[in-house]
Structure 1
Amino acid sequence: MSIVLVVNSGSSSFKYQLLDMTTERVLASGLVERIGQPMGSCRHTVYQVSGEPGQGVTTMLDATTERELPIPDHFAGFAAMLDAFELSGPSLVENPPVAVGHRVVHGGARFFEPTLITPLVEINIEELAVLAPLHNPANLAGIVAARRAFPDVPHVAVFDTAFHQTLAPAAYTYAIDAEIAAAHRIRRYGFHGTSHKFVSGAAAAYLGRPPGELKQIVFHLGNGASVTAVDGGVSVDTSMGFTPLEGLVMGTRSGDIDPALLFQLARRAQMDVDDLDDLLNKRSGLKGLSGFSDMRDVLAGRARGEQAATLAFDVYVHRLRAYAGAYLAQLGGVDVISFTAGVGENVPDVRAGALATLGFAGVHVDPVRNAARAHGIRVISTDDSPVTVLVVPTDEELEIARQTLEVTGG
């Protein structure tokens, strides 16, 4: 078996998956959290696999164990993870990882492909923390701890921004003073790249078409949300920008606004930089409009006839539709539109609303197919729709594992 461990490390937690890449199935997954607090926790799940290989992750829950214990730092967190494998399986002695793949949020303009981690790469990830101060240091902490836990196998960094390094200068350049932009590395970087790459590739494979033949729009709609125009398998435009704040309306983030609003709030409401940062990242989006950051709560409020929830939903969908139209223009037409992540995969009203006015462009959603609950990739457009509309469950861990093996030759 070709076993890969995938790690997604945050500042006070990390998630992991152990995958058998000969079948692309998950053997185990887990979450270590509350790192640095008086008492941490470790949840470890072992899977009994079922279904056909090559169809994404199709697994059946076998057993989950949970423990509470002190986890003062990421090194202790990885020790707890190794204990969980030893106690509950699968055995890492019998199933040793051939490589470890790491999610890293920001690669700046330096990293445009999955990269074998060396001390120099670690230094670069640390230097890029100025562009992602909440994420890159946490990602690096996981890398350092994992390299100590698994010193004899290669470790690979897979960057959220890498898929968008194919953007043309016209797409990534902001129209501000060029010298200031260059001095502070201000440009559009884009995020959710691992998900957009996986979904656009999975959509092409599902349709039996080479990615190079297709023009695609991918909506990644979770608590964070972004949309990407993919032409011939490469990203040509994306909604998130210098940070993940730009673009679509999200759970707590505003998405696009007039920048002059910040000047007005600073002058009239005496809000400082930290206040404004908190407002736009944590108290805006669906939460700012309705009081709810979760789309499920917004939908429930809308069903009860609450005006704030209805407006929040309408603003959310209006922005989706605007970006769909913009990317239709950028691509010069589209072959496939895909929805993924928690909202994209599970909320038919959002999908229908986002595409409701695009019949002129050959986009026709079948209401019965759209409303049906199902697992796996599925078509929700009509049989005679020139544009195929899909729901594609994302699997960023599998994509990280695939890219890890590409680098290591596994």
Structure 2
Amino acid sequence: MSKENILIINCGSSSMKFAVINPATGEEAINGIAERLGSPESLIRWKFEGNKEREELNGGAHDAAVAALLSMLADKGLKDSIAAVGHRVVHGGETFKESCLVNEEVMQAIENCSHLAPLHNPANLIGIKAAQKHFPGLPMSVVFDTSFHQTMPEHAYIYPLPYEFYRDHGVRKYGFHGTSYRFVAKRVCEMLNLEVSNSKVIIGHLGNGASAAAVLNGEGVDTTMGLTPLEGLVMGTRCGNVDPNIYSFLNKEYGYSLDEITDILNKKSGLLGMSELSNDCRAIEEACEEGNKQAQLAMDVFCYVLAKQLAGLMVATGGCDALAFTGGIGENSDAIRGKVLEMLGFMGFEMDAQKNLDCRFGNEGVITSDSSKATAIVVSTNEELMIAKDTAILIG
């Protein structure tokens, strides 16, 4: 069997997403996720040839998940088709400006960045080591969420703090979702017949974690997430931008500890915190339709902050050839897209209601009217394919 596929592995602290992709055709042979790793309920689920299957891992963690993945790929006749393994790594700091093959120096550099992403990078490293153990001899690549944003100018990523914080500790804006932005920016230019080298694209990657980015001539020039994924937009459970003195206020006035406040801002805020209902945008929209005022408030705040930051990012590009919506919410919520475009109407965006409604559930396309002075478009992101293509290039 020819080795034409790339195995993609994306490890979280208690999960592992995976897919086997042909980078030349984009065809996905299998995909799945291992969940609740390290707990008694740990399991691995996958979809192959339209059929969904699962296997209990009996408390196993990442190593057990990769071992089960190897066994399953062998059983499906896919193991010998894999040419390399591509890993998603969240934080590359300033060290990694592009994807690269794994070696000892790269592993050490990823570990050195772990203090910037303490929940993610250690899990990414565990996944890489497990893959090296169970897929010996296969080349491994790493693709970083942060690398796309390393083209930001200094004035876009420096925080107005004492400069020693940046010089000595690397405290600056890094940005995330970079693999998605790279894919979507190129896809927008393909769909609209724009030259990548002469393009101004603003992208909203909207999901439970959400951010937006400004892409000028194919390069990232600003983004909303910062040192960590907490900065920027309102998200499912993250608050986004708030007064940083809220830490001191909640501590001194109400006795919350630093860890408690961090947990609240990351896991109990955003749509969930405001609605007191759910972090799932679909549930919030349903509650709005039923007249739930608190859900409506959460939706209004989400859309207002998003519209305001999308407009602000256009300063970085000096205009906008296209505003793109992507991610689970961006690709499926016609209500949120419509509300945001209405707020941005003063900039020339005129939505076509039918086009907006049609662009859901995997359907891409322009959602502004033919007479609109500005263009908005829906694009289905594919981070896994981007990782597969990067890996294929790296291994020649």
Normalized against structure 2, the TM-score is what?
0.96
2:339 equivalent to 1:380: no
Residue pair 2:146, 2:178 contacting (<8 A) in 1 also: yes
Amino acid at match of 2:386: E
**Pick aligned residue for 1:65 from 43, 53, 57:** 53
| Aligned position for 2:86 | 101
Q: Output the CA distance in 1 between the equivalents of 2:95 and 2:373.
A: 39
Amino acid at match of 2:378: V
List per-residue Cα deviations over 1:189-223 (Å, max 9, x = no partner): 00011111111111111222221121000000100
2:306 equivalent to 1:320: yes
| Aligned position for 1:244 | 229
List per-residue Cα deviations over 1:232-288 (Å, max 9, x = no partner): 001111000010000000001000011122211111011111011011001111111
Alignment map for 1:5-404 (pairs within 5 Å)? 5-47=7-49, 62-70=50-58, 72-87=60-75, 89-93=76-80, 95=81, 97-291=82-276, 292-374=278-360, 375-404=362-391
Q: Output the CA distance in 2 between the equivalents of 1:309 and 1:15.
A: 31
Q: Output the CA distance in 2 between the equivalents of 1:373 and 1:331.
A: 26
Q: Secondary structure at the match of 1:381?
A: coil
RMSD: 1.4
Residue pair 2:20, 2:29 contacting (<8 A) in 1 also: yes
Moved more, 129-138 or 298-307: 298-307
Amino acid at match of 2:149: H
> Which residues of structure 2 form unaligned runs of 5+?
none
Q: Output the CA distance in 2 between the equivalents of 1:264 and 1:32.
A: 40
Q: Output the CA distance in 2 between the equivalents of 1:233 and 1:39.
A: 43
In percent, how many aligned pairs have the same letter? Answer: 41
Runs of 4 or more, structure 1, over 4 Å off, are none
Q: Output the CA distance in 1 between the equivalents of 2:35 and 2:345.
A: 46
Amino acid at match of 1:301: A
Normalized against structure 1, the TM-score is what?
0.92
Residue pair 2:92, 2:113 contacting (<8 A) in 1 also: yes
Residue pair 1:335, 1:386 contacting (<8 A) in 2 also: no
Give the C-alpha shift of residue 373 in structure 1: 4.9
> Which residues of structure 1 form unaligned runs of 5+?
48-61
Q: Secondary structure at the match of 2:79?
A: coil
